[in-house]
A and B are shown apart, each in its own frame.
Chain A
Amino acid sequence: MEPFTTLTAIAAPMPMQNIDTDKIIPARFLKTIKRSGLGIHLFDPMRFNKDGSENPDFVLNQEPYRKAEIIIAHENFGCGSSREHAPWALLDFGIRCIIAPDFADIFYNNSFKNGILPIRLPRAVCDQLIDDSKLGGNARVTVDLARQVVVRPNGEEIAFDIDPFRKHSLLNGLDDIGQTLQHDKSIDGFEARQRQNQSWMPSTTAA
């Protein structure tokens, strides 16, 4: 997993509540065998017209937001399915951070697992950041995870909360697997004990 340290990027305003996983990536794209390549279907129902052409009114089809790496939204972002296709699609498009007043639980957890930083900030602050994001030109938002601040284009800093364990994982690019592999010695030890105490345990390559 890619570490998340600081990010200075274009933020796309999406002032909507309940952006659910079906809006993020509709169920019909879930039969895929990949987690990469889903970015082209991100927000499909809003981003494309029925004939497949781009909907010019949708924010990610507009400059400079085509290159957005941050999304700013309203309440309950990511509600719906537990499947991980939603964070996979966001990440594949290039989104590394989402700022909203709150998130659906499973989506919130799944984001960390995939190296995306979800930040909870009060609605009024989100609205301020949404206004900032419309300044155009070189307006950039900076997210500094180590210092736990979001920096507005005018330099003002807004503090945010994050669980220390998750912060550590993101800063070091440790997904659950990376964390567990830090206990590699214990796993080796367990396997050695099992080989000794349960030598009857057959292998799946045996028959």
Chain B
Amino acid sequence: MSASRPRTLFDKIWDNHVVERLPDGTCILYIDRHLVHEVTSPQAFEGLRMAGRKLRRPDCTIAVADHNIPTVGSRIPADIKEEDSRIQVETLEKNVKEFGVPYIPILDKRQGIVHIIGPELGLSLPGTTIVCGDSHTSTHGALGALAFGIGTSEVEHVMATQTLLQNPAKNMQIDVSGTLGFGCSAKDIVLAIIGKITTAGGNGHVIEYTGDTIRALDIAGRCTVSNMSIEAGAKAGLIAPDQTTFDYLRGRDFAPKGEAFEQAVAYWKTLPSDAGAHYDTIVRLTTAEIAPMVTWGTTPGQVVPVTGVVPNPADETDEAKRAQLQRMVDYMALTPGQAMQDLVIDVVFIGSCTNGRIEDIRAAAAVAKGRHVAAGVQAMVVPGSGLVKFQAEQEGLDRILLEAGFEWRDPCCSMCLGMNPDKLTPGQRCASTSNRNFEGRQGPGGRTHLLSPAMAAAAAVTGRLTDVRQLV
């Protein structure tokens, strides 16, 4: 491969991490950072133990428990009531000791959802390869890292070899231009993108998000966009590092310090895609296509502007697709043609690795301030990490939210997937800032509408899906 060929950001990171290209084209790819959590690691540690292997690079690995941690009451592992959850957390704590893995304990202020704390602690750096046994690892691409989720066998493979066997992906460019409209946020951008390209649109690709709309986003917003790359079917999402990225990383706990930071920045500046680099697929959006969005169906691609209506499956000509849409309408208990804003909400969840950052909580609090959660609605705010929670309390956001009738909880994945006790009951309708609205994702029989933090807060105070632009 000639070095003078114009390359994309993805090409550059890839080329820089190929340890060896095997005869069949498969590459041994070096992994700079391995993030480990309690759900997908136990069998991998057990595999190492059974084979008598060591963890190759504990100094490139870091572990945290996030999926199973309660958001109210005691956070001591032995107090976790659900046996499966408790065992997973206790097993992680045992394994990190045995294998010498750096670990952020649950009671540490820096504990939180792995995809929140990676960027927040400066663990996720431009130009690096980052993996985790979790599909939303794509989040870290917001900093210009090649970050993707892996299965348990691969977790073990990384532990033992600090590499993965990989085949290159295709390059996809998604370019967003224009000034984001009033009341719109990064979540609306990514929902609009998935609505446009569908949940299979990114299959086989790594997406690079470009354009002035993306450049104008802060790191939190970029994380929200990159987080949902996986929902578009992509292997990973990437945003080229720029001054916003460097300013964000400077001084963070694990980021390089002093002279090393300047060296790093000099390298990071070489990473953005070259002019004329080849993308296999290019998609363009303008902000004219982006309004405050909300999903109506059971995939993130079934999305409409909040001012829109539930589509009619009968309008679909393909029979299989029509049946699928009908199933969604039925599961979500909707009527074709119904205005989205007529849908009455039971639960509001603000949190997750998509929207559990301080910026998200500020956006929710701005809408909640001086208002009150509607009667009959349970609204919870779950910060993505201990540091987010602390920062929000410094700013008094917890008080604004509590006074407005929101619950203010401790950090965890929480109702994003209902592995801890925070679950929907059958039939409940939830306005959620998370990333997946699959059947039963937030609890069996639960109905999920994905939206931005400001839109979630608007739904909480009115008791139905609401155009946040009417409230701010």
Interface residues, chain A, CB within 8 Å of chain B?
Answer: 1, 31, 33-36, 82, 84, 88, 110, 113, 176-177, 179-181, 183, 186-187, 189-191, 194, 198-207
Contacts and interface: CB of A to CB of B under 8 A. Distances in A.
Contact of A84 (B32, B59, B152, B253): B152
Contacts of A202: 122, 125, 254-257, 260
Contacts of B161: 177, 180-181, 187
A180 to B, nearest CB: 5
B19 A203 contact: no
Q: Which of A88, A180, A190 has most B Cβ within 10 Å?
A: A180
Nearest to B38: A33
The 5 tightest CB contacts between A and B, nearest first, are A33-B42, A200-B260, A207-B253, A200-B264, A203-B59
A116 to B, nearest CB: 14
Contacts of B267: 198, 200
Given A180-B160, A205-B102, 14 more contacts: A34-B46, A36-B46, A82-B151, A176-B157, A177-B157, A180-B163, A181-B161, A202-B122, A202-B256, A202-B257, A204-B58, A204-B59, A204-B60, A204-B102
A84 B153 contact: yes
Nearest to A189: B19
Interface string B222-259: 00000000000000000000000000000001111100
Contacts of B156: 177
Interface size class of B (residues with CB under 8 A): 35 or more
Contacts of A191: 30, 162
B43 A35 contact: yes
Given A36-B46, A84-B153, A177 B53 contact: yes
Given A1-B51, A34-B43, A183 B254 contact: no
A176 B26 CA distance: 12
Interface string B258-279: 0011011001000000000000
Interface of B: 19-20, 28, 30, 32-33, 42-43, 46-47, 50-51, 53, 58-62, 84, 87-88, 91, 102, 121-123, 125, 128, 151-153, 156-157, 160-163, 165, 253-257, 260-261, 263-264, 267
Contacts of B160: 177, 180-181
Given A36-B46, A204-B102, A204-B123, A183 B20 contact: yes
28 contacts: A31-B84, A33-B43, A33-B91, A36-B50, A84-B43, A84-B151, A84-B152, A84-B153, A110-B153, A113-B153, A177-B53, A177-B160, A180-B160, A180-B161, A180-B165, A183-B20, A186-B20, A186-B28, A190-B30, A191-B162, A199-B263, A200-B267, A201-B256, A202-B260, A204-B60, A204-B62, A204-B102, A204-B123
Contacts of B91: 33
A205 B58 contact: yes
A3 B61 CA distance: 30
Nearest to B56: A187
A107 B356 CA distance: 37
A162 to B, nearest CB: 16
A35 B151 CA distance: 14
Contacts of A200: 256, 260-261, 263-264, 267
Nearest to B263: A200
Contacts of A33: 42-43, 46, 87-88, 91
A198 B126 CA distance: 12
A180 B33 CA distance: 18
Nearest to A184: B161
A198 B62 CA distance: 20
A94 to B, nearest CB: 16
Contact of A205 (B42, B59, B255, B263): B59
A92 to B, nearest CB: 11
Contact of B19 (A31, A179, A190, A201): A190
Nearest to B154: A176
A83 to B, nearest CB: 8
A180 B160 CA distance: 9
Contacts of B58: 204-205
Contact of A206 (B51, B125, B254): B254
Contacts of A84: 43, 151-153
Contacts of A194: 30
Nearest to A35: B43
B61 A204 contact: yes
Contacts of B263: 199-200
B374 to A, nearest CB: 36
A187 B163 contact: yes
A203 B58 CA distance: 9
Contacts of A35: 43, 46-47, 50
Contacts of B32: 201
B28 A180 contact: yes
B47 A204 contact: no
